[in-house]
Homo-oligomer: A and B are copies of this chain.
Amino acid sequence: MSLPYVILGFLQYAPATGYDLKKTFDVTVRHFWPADQSHIYRALAELVERDAVRVEEIPQSGRPNRKLYHITERGRQELISWLRQPAAVSRVRNTALVHVFFAGNLKDADVLTLLEAYENGLREELACYRRIPDMLHDVAPFRPSKRESFFWMLTLEYGIVLVEAQLAWVRGVRKRIQAKQYVSTVEDLPEEGKAVREKKRRGR
C-alpha cells in the first residue's frame, strides 16, 4: 500500500495536518492514488505508532486542535527505502471493458451509446488533468526544484498520454461499429475455430 508513503513524501517538504494533506492529495496524486479523509487520518495514526511521524498539537478555540504532523528521521529512511523497491505491476479492474467483452448481447445502437458515455468520461478526465498545473500553484508550501517539478509533471504526462490512448481506441471502435466492420487490429479468432482446434489436437 502506497498511502503512508505518499504522506511521508509530502511531510518531507513541510509538516502538515490531515486536513492539509487531503487538500494536497486532491491536486497532486489523485489521478493515480486517490484517498479520502478517513484513509489519511487512519494512515497518520499508524505512522505515529511506528514513529515515522510525530504530532505537535496546536490548541485552537472553537474547532478541534490542529495536529501538525512532522516526519521523523525514521520516516525519512522508511520512505527512501520504499522508493527504491521496484513496484509490482498494478492490476487494473475496468468495468467498461467487461461491457465491451459481452457487448455481443446488445444491439449496435446500445453499444454505441455506452461507448459515447465512456468517451465523454474520458474527455472530462482529460480536462481535469489540464487544470492540475494551475491548481498546483495555489497549494501548500512546495517549492520544487526543476528536477522535482519534472517528476511531478511526468505523472501528469502519464495520465494524459494514457487517456489519449484510450480516446483514440474508443473513437476507432465507434467508427468500426458504425461502419459495421467488425474487425480488430488483433488477429481475429478464426470462425472455423472448431476445425482448426481439431487439427491442432490431431497434430499433437
- Judge whether B80 and A105 touch: CB under 8 Å: yes
CB distance from A92 to the nearest CB of B (A): 5
Number of interface residues of A (CB under 8 A): 87
Q: Is A53 an interface residue (CB 8 A)?
A: no
Which residues of B are found within 8 Å of A97, using beta-carbon distances?
A: 29, 32-33, 155, 158
Copies of this protein chain in the complex: 2
CB nearest to A125 among chain B residues: B89
A172-188 interface code vs B (CB 8 A; 1 in, 0 out): 01000000001111111
- Judge whether B88 and A183 touch: CB under 8 Å: no
The answer for the CA separation of A106 and B12 in the assembled complex, in Å, is 14
CB nearest to A113 among chain B residues: B86
CB distance from A186 to the nearest CB of B (A): 5
The answer for the CA separation of A33 and B5 in the assembled complex, in Å, is 27
- Judge whether B79 and A87 touch: CB under 8 Å: no
Q: Is A65 an interface residue (CB 8 A)?
A: no
- Judge whether B153 and A188 touch: CB under 8 Å: yes
Interface-lining segment among A15-23, A40-48, A54-62, A138-146: A138-146
CB nearest to A98 among chain B residues: B2
